[in-house]
Structure 1
């Protein structure tokens, strides 16, 4: 009798090849340990000059010369611009002559007072006549004081015709040109000190209690990518702003630039006032699970780690914290003592056998 079809099928099934064993991937496995990792408060702020000033003319007159341009380093007392001082020179001469005349009148009045004093002692004049003469001496003294004050004011106006830098710094703007007429309130130039700078930060009300003077921070600015700069919190506002419900703090930031032969700043450093900054304020350090940075696989904002469980890779989504010394804190997703793949390559995937 011919064999049945079911028997043929059973024979074919027995002839099928057996499936191969799962592939084994060799990988370096490390154990998760707890390390002291930093905790930061991320803030945003703006760089400002530690010292800046808009220099006013403080006098009236036509601009005869300007000596500075935007970005130029200047020393304290250096001339920035000069005004027409001819009227001031005439005023100084006139007030000096008036002062000298009053001095001469005072000397004569003092001699007269000495003479009438002797006459009064000898009863040659009356007390009333003596009082009239001595009162003239007093009024002449006050006239001299007024004349000298007018002379000093005239000399000040003459000095104000030469506008000078109030401190070592860099010129931000020059607002006037030769031939322009200026008044005492006219802005002539702006100047700022380039080193150090201030980083003005706003702290939400909920975190205001964490802020103390002398706390350290690092920050970055868009112009220099991932480059880090440092500073120290120096000034903390005593109140919360009602309009924005935040606290204003200022950090002092070193910003060294080129130096002149005298050792004083001769230019600006990398950082400039007005730059927007993202800062990290160090709050504390405490032990948390930490893994090598190389153990992470990142895809945008998603981070994965491959734990090793019963000899197989177990893919886990993790929430990470700050980095320090080649390690990164893991807030959630793994625990202390877990084994993880130290450097997962393209052949590491969920469920693969690990040796």
Structure 2
């Protein structure tokens, strides 16, 4: 039977981000709502870019002016070089002219950098999605003034998800990448989901004495999403996105498979359950003997019995509703 390590954890998005404006200005349009699917590069919001456009025009004019000055300076440098060779001017006058030529070149570099920065501000006024994902929340509205650090929207990638687990220090030595696990979440009752350990922290946290590991978890589509699966590429028009059954933030109880080893087992049908209590009837000297048992893991119709019976005990495989302690049980030879 399998031996599991039971852990608790939280589902998180594989990629998630609070997108900053990266520019200052008034919001003139928003294009997304909570739960909307967006593609990398899609517009989330737009800022008033009129001042940035004016800055671009001014920077381009300044750049053109410096280019003209540089052309004039280069012609002057070529002229004084010839004059120096003929001895018509002094070395000091020649050095002064060539220095002016070099400084004009640096002025052009500064003007072009200013022009690129102005163009960037125009581009930053259109705030875009950094990756494919689903909008978690939009933080701004039309008319609001934002700074470069203002959060505009949150976005997360819904598939796959990460299951973040904390492993007690005593069990940290058995954890490694590639281990498989199963888990349940409250929203879906006994439905089982699976994942694979992908990321293992290199250190034990001193404050809590545990090891943080993360498993990658495929996110199966929710029933309402399956009908729209073929139409996912058209979801960026404002329709609700297919986000899958599992959602970031869900609490999960996981079982991490450590190994398998032989243990006493009985058929599941041999159990009589009453709440958290489990009973099994074994045959002792021709009569039924009721045993309270502690159960382990279940697999392929059999369940492990941790205590209450011993290997080799004769178990009544399907006790009827009238079965009780002390009833005579016929052997095969007596039937």
What's the TM-score, normalizing by structure 1?
Answer: 0.87
State the match for 2:120 in structure 1.
156
State the match for 1:53 in structure 2.
17
1:196 and 1:256 in contact (8 A); partners too:
no
State the match for 1:31 in structure 2.
none
Counterparts in 2 of 1:1-150, with a 5 A limit?
37-150=1-114
Point out where structure 2 has 5 or more consecutive residues left out of the alignment: 236-240, 331-335
The whole-number CA distance in structure 1 between the counterparts of 2:233 and 2:263 is 47
The whole-number CA distance in structure 2 between the counterparts of 1:274 and 1:353 is 56
1:321 and 1:330 in contact (8 A); partners too:
yes
- Bigger relative contact order, structure 1 or 2 (CA pairs below 8 A, ≥6 apart): 1
State the match for 1:28 in structure 2.
none
State the match for 2:133 in structure 1.
169
State the match for 1:197 in structure 2.
161
TM-align CA RMSD: 1.5
TM-aligned CA deviation for residue 124 of structure 1: 2.1
The whole-number CA distance in structure 2 between the counterparts of 1:116 and 1:343 is 112
TM-aligned CA deviation for residue 256 of structure 1: 4.1
State the match for 2:266 in structure 1.
291
The whole-number CA distance in structure 2 between the counterparts of 1:111 and 1:57 is 46
Q: Output one character per residue of 1:68-120: Cα deviation in whole Å (capped at 9) or x when no partner.
A: 00000000000011111110110010001101111111111112112222222
Which of 173, 187, 191 is the matching residue for 1:209? 173
TM-aligned CA deviation for residue 334 of structure 1: 1.8
Highest CA radius of gyration, 1 or 2? Answer: 1
What's the TM-score, normalizing by structure 2?
Answer: 0.92
State the match for 1:17 in structure 2.
none
The whole-number CA distance in structure 1 between the counterparts of 2:144 and 2:232 is 35
For 2:293, what is the secondary structure of its paired residue?
A: strand
State the match for 1:16 in structure 2.
none
Confirm whether residue 344 of structure 1 aligns to residue 307 of structure 2: no
2:232 and 2:242 in contact (8 A); partners too:
no
The whole-number CA distance in structure 2 between the counterparts of 1:256 and 1:164 is 27
TM-aligned CA deviation for residue 263 of structure 1: 6.1
Point out where structure 1 has 5 or more consecutive residues left out of the alignment: 1-36
TM-aligned CA deviation for residue 298 of structure 1: 1.4
Change (3 A) 1:133 1:200: same
Change (3 A) 1:149 1:287: same
State the match for 1:332 in structure 2.
307
For 2:264, what is the secondary structure of its paired residue?
A: strand
Counterparts in 2 of 1:174-193, with a 5 A limit?
174-193=138-157
Counterparts in 2 of 1:211-230, with a 5 A limit?
211-230=175-194
For 1:340, what is the secondary structure of its paired residue?
A: coil
Which of 276, 279, 299 is the matching residue for 1:301? 276
The whole-number CA distance in structure 2 between the counterparts of 1:315 and 1:262 is 58
